[in-house]
């Protein structure tokens, strides 16, 4: 189910894509030295030329030419389960300008992503991308198109630890009430959310689950009770005791807007 959800997420953004040739030798593409340049952390930016919404973004971290990790958080969609995936290990195989990522969480299901690179440098890469999901030996999902990643040069997973106070500075968070709030982030992936009571005292919310992770610049959180969770996704930056969140969101009519949040560290 995990692979089906991930594949569906990628395919949802790729409905306008068309097939591309994947043969580097026939196209005459020079060796792009993918095995060397891919090392590092990358976040998906757009698919088929269309920006990926922040709530559908994933981060891939390549620690070698044979191993990578992927982080993503996805709300449940019809007929699918939710995904809460921090640093899921992937197998990597690179041959020339072609890279294959393989994920096998169980004996029945395999997801294979094929990237045929057309360009890569120290800031971004573009590839013809094909994803195939098989369950029980049968192909469950397949699609292909053009995908674009940008390199993540900072990792804020350690810098976020502590207590922060701030407010939403734009429209866009359905959970925002216009007031300042506090978040206390712990190193074990838990956080405590505070709001002021009528007397001005900071009071914690006692949700059964209050979890988060940061991978590079991608921040994902979930909270709730009884297995029913709310979720939010942001791209963050932290410097000089200030933290800024931004997120590309979609309206029901398909138009997009950017939501922002600003916080100051209090301890």
Position 200 in a domain: yes
User: Are 131 and 183 in a shared domain?
Assistant: no
User: Are 175 and 223 in a shared domain?
Assistant: yes
User: Are 24 and 134 in a shared domain?
Assistant: yes
- Cβ distance 57 to 218 under 8 Å? yes
Q: What pLDDT shows up at residue 123?
A: 98
Q: What pLDDT shows up at residue 7?
A: 54
Tens-of-pLDDT digits for all 267 residues of the chain?
Answer: 444 445 555 544 443 333 333 444 445 679 999 999 999 999 999 999 999 999 999 999 999 999 999 999 988 765 566 789 899 999 999 999 999 999 887 788 899 999 999 999 999 999 999 999 999 889 998 999 999 999 999 999 999 999 999 999 986 565 666 789 999 999 999 999 999 999 999 999 989 999 999 999 999 999 999 888 899 999 999 999 999 999 999 988 989 999 999 999 998
Position 168 in a domain: yes
User: Are 140 and 47 in a shared domain?
Assistant: yes
User: Are 123 and 22 in a shared domain?
Assistant: yes
Start-to-end CA span in the chain (Å): 41
- Domain count for the chain: 2
Helix, strand, or coil (residue 138): strand
User: Are 148 and 174 in a shared domain?
Assistant: no
94 forms beta bridges with: 99
Q: What pLDDT shows up at residue 145?
A: 95
User: Are 128 and 77 in a shared domain?
Assistant: yes
User: Are 141 and 192 in a shared domain?
Assistant: no
Q: What pLDDT shows up at residue 80?
A: 61
Instruction: Specify the CATH number for the domain of residue 202.
Output: 2.40.128.20
Which tokens is 180 given? 């300042």
User: Are 126 and 70 in a shared domain?
Assistant: yes
User: Are 83 and 174 in a shared domain?
Assistant: no
Domain boundary at 152, 182, 211, which? Answer: 152
Distance CA 3, CA 1 (A): 5
Q: What pLDDT shows up at residue 91?
A: 95
Position 157 in a domain: no
Q: What pLDDT shows up at residue 227?
A: 80
Domain that holds residue 222: 162-265
Instruction: Specify the CATH number for the domain of residue 102.
Output: 2.40.128
Domain boundary at 152, 173, 204, which? Answer: 152
Distance CA 126, CA 120 (A): 7
Q: Which pTM does this prediction carry?
A: 0.86
Position 32 in a domain: yes
Q: What pLDDT shows up at residue 11?
A: 46
User: Are 180 and 148 in a shared domain?
Assistant: no
User: Are 61 and 36 in a shared domain?
Assistant: yes
Q: Following DSSP, what letter does each residue of 167-211 receive, concatenated? A: EE-SS--TT--SS-EEEEE-TTSBEEEEEE-TTS-EEE---SEEE
Q: What pLDDT shows up at residue 21?
A: 39
Position 71 in a domain: yes
């Amino acid at each position: 189910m995990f692979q089906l959800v991930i594949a569906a997420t990628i395919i949802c953004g790729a409905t306008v894509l068309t097939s591309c040739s994947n043969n580097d030798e026939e196209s005459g593409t020079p060796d792009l030295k993918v095995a060397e340049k891919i090392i590092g952390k990358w976040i998906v930016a757009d698919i088929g030329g269309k920006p990926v919404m922040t709530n559908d973004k994933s981060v891939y971290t390549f620690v070698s030419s044979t191993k990578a990790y992927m982080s993503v958080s996805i709300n449940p969609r019809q007929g699918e389960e939710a995904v809460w995936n921090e640093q899921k290990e992937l197998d990597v195989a690179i041959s020339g300008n072609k890279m294959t990522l393989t994920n096998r969480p169980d004996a029945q299901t395999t997801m294979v992503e094929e990237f045929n690179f057309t360009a890569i440098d120290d800031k971004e890469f573009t590839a013809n991308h094909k994803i195939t999901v098989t369950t029980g030996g049968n192909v469950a999902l397949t699609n292909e198109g053009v995908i674009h990643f940008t390199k993540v040069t900072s990792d804020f997973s350690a810098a976020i630890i502590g207590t922060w106070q701030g407010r939403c500075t734009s429209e866009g968070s359905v959970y925002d009430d216009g007031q300042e709030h506090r978040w206390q982030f712990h190193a074990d992936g838990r956080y405590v959310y505070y709001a002021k009571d009528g007397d001005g005292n900071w009071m914690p919310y006692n949700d059964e689950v209050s979890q988060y992770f940061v991978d590079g610049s991608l921040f994902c959180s979930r909270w709730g009770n009884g297995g029913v969770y709310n979720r939010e996704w942001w791209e963050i930056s932290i410097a000089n005791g200030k933290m800024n969140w931004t997120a590309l969101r979609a309206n029901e009519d398909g138009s997009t807007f950017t939501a922002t949040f600003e916080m100051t560290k209090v301890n």
